[in-house]
Chain A
């Protein structure tokens, strides 16, 4: 069992990858806002969802640290044996693949809804998939380096847009902090926030590649990424709520809408293209991250020597899946705010449960982790 990739990513790049993964659903389609009842309390969902993500991510990292030289596919196979390994491993890969396809589709839908109304969405999906597949074939190092550069740029652009909308904000819309329908109001939006953190399962594939002296440093890095994401989410949410007030849950692309409103003086206006830049870079990098993860994981699962031949077919399949899995933008949002929440959270918990039970059984029978590192 080899890693199929000699690439190493720095601790910072790992951190940036995680922040990027969580940033994309904030800036593109922010489906959480559709569930929010009282915009003044929307930020609480971000905090709750992020805090609940911490134990889940701790479980992901803790498992990975048992096998610091293996990817999640590697140790799934080892823990569950050939048949169970292939079964659970392919489920994990399916999740990665679905994330890639879903992000690609959201990106396409966002472009088609906002700026390029007349262009067929397939043009975006196919051309993006082609570019992404090429970047995947070039290995993870280039991609990670790009992530390291682009995440601060993306966050900066987002903050510029938010700062430029200061004169539209009415802080009165951040009050009252009150739940008209009881605290139950918080459940769905918080779960929606949490559901995107399940994408941090990608840590399982990145962990053996991180260039740190002690693999245990991955944990604080991951938790740090959660807190950074939470910080961005809360800032984003507070500014959204104070600009849009009760209109917040009526928007399909809230971040884009805020950028459209910005008008400072005569020159500084029509800055929505800044948000589009963020979409294309952040979204593109995220798709390529998950496509690469799927390709490498599949190669490891099937004990192939190289993952590269899988990339183009998977890319083509990704386009097909992204086209066929949703009918339209409304369906994308209703799936992301409905079934996908339940699915992604329970799926992650189930996978972790199976792996931890297998690990516990193995430890119990005294084998321990002595096999680790042979891979």
Chain B
């Protein structure tokens, strides 16, 4: 009897192996994986969701024959709420829409400019079990969501990879934009004395290249996208755009600059230019209270390398020259920061630099009084910017190639 009971029990547990997942069991073949998603507001005030759903049968791995079919299916629906719009995809997709693998989320400009609308999207994103807060967030600049979703990339078959990788590469190599994750954006939204920014995605039209007779078959993409500059928010509302220069200025203050090229004038020949590469950066924001008003000191340390010169330049035996290059380097960086400050304080009146956060950290008690009217204090805030720049190397050459 006992033996029989045990056998029965073993059978019971073996059964578990075949019904693992309980009610939530789902086969990968039944899922439509969202690769790229975008949200916007329609003319009639509805929420619009556009997604690229992966087409696994059109995807090819390395070494396989390339199939001439796009590996994704663009589809969009609308709804009164974000979740309703998302679920409305179910009536058009034969596979259950599955959000776990979504890496990029585009926010339409119309939606971003509305008060409290981007938070509706993010509430769905944070609350639901499928989407991840690690998804990268971008705001569409100067075009419609549909147009940016139809952008294709020459080097990537999946547009989501195009957006994702450009975001990474821009931040790492140029630092003129920064694509935060949904987590970072939400975190900044709730941080006192800091207004969020998002990387701006734009459409680029390239002239269509007509293949000539006799050459190898060649397909060019005329409609692609780039990430350039930042969209500045005030609270949960998009209030303006920053160009590349201002964006890097913001990122200097936020400590997010990783690399980039700074162009200065040659001190020996003013009409010729020199490129310096940013190598290492550091920043320190020190707020002080002077007569009950905060004064902010921003100190930026930057280390760079001499990257290019248009005119013959002789370093050896001229330490004064190297110093003056460093001074110009520092001034150029300082100008970027000042441009960002001007944009933030005068045009946008939005503390995207996080100066309030620095005050909050250094003077938490005083901040309790200041935080409610920080919006009025910030535009008139006195900010001193100091930049210490050093150049460490001139690369593999000492002098420029000469003309005989």
Contact = CB atoms under 8 A, between A and B. Distances in A.
Contacts of B364: 176, 178, 180
A245 B22 contact: no
B183 A261 contact: yes
Interface in B174-219: 181, 183, 186-187, 190-192
A335 interface: no
A114 B130 CA distance: 9
B100 A117 contact: no
Contacts of A168: 134, 181, 183
Count class of interface residues, chain A? 20 to 34
B133 A260 contact: yes
A180 B23 contact: no
Interface in B90-139: 100, 126, 129, 132-134
Interface residues of B, number: 24
A176 B190 CA distance: 15
Interface string A297-322: 00000000000000000000000000
A124 to B, nearest CB: 8
A120 B22 CA distance: 9
Interface string A171-201: 0110110101000000000000000000000
Nearest to A168: B183
Contacts of B134: 168, 260-263
A25 B192 CA distance: 30
A257 interface: yes
A216 interface: no
Contact of B361 (A172, A247, A270): A172
A175 B364 CA distance: 9
Contacts of A118: 22-24
A178 B190 CA distance: 17
B291 to A, nearest CB: 22
Given A118-B24, A178-B365, A244 B187 contact: yes
B21 interface: yes
A240 to B, nearest CB: 12
Interface in B326-383: 357, 360-362, 364-365, 368
A119 B191 contact: no
Given A117-B24, A247-B190, A257 B360 contact: no
Contacts of A260: 132-134
Contacts of A173: 187, 191
Contact of B133 (A120, A123, A257, A270): A257
A246 B190 contact: yes
Contact of B24 (A113, A119, A172, A270): A119
Contact of A120 (B23, B192, B361, B368): B23
A246 B187 CA distance: 6
B382 to A, nearest CB: 22
Contacts of B126: 247, 250
A247 B23 contact: no
Nearest to B194: A172
A331 interface: no
A37 to B, nearest CB: 12
Interface in A263-306: 263, 270
B367 to A, nearest CB: 8
Given A246-B191, A261-B133, A270 B186 contact: no
Interface string B269-290: 0000000000000000000000
Nearest to A260: B132
Contacts of B362: 176
B24 A116 contact: yes
Contacts of A262: 134
B297 to A, nearest CB: 17
Given A176-B364, A180-B368, 12 more contacts: A115-B24, A123-B22, A168-B183, A173-B191, A175-B361, A178-B365, A244-B183, A245-B190, A246-B192, A247-B183, A247-B186, A261-B134
17 contacts: A116-B21, A116-B22, A118-B22, A168-B183, A173-B187, A176-B362, A178-B364, A180-B364, A244-B183, A244-B187, A245-B190, A246-B187, A246-B190, A246-B192, A257-B133, A260-B134, A261-B183
Interface of B: 21-24, 100, 126, 129, 132-134, 181, 183, 186-187, 190-192, 357, 360-362, 364-365, 368
Interface of A: 113-120, 123, 168, 170, 172-173, 175-176, 178, 180, 243-247, 250, 257, 260-263, 270
**Closest 3 CB pairs between A and B?**
A178-B364, A246-B190, A119-B22
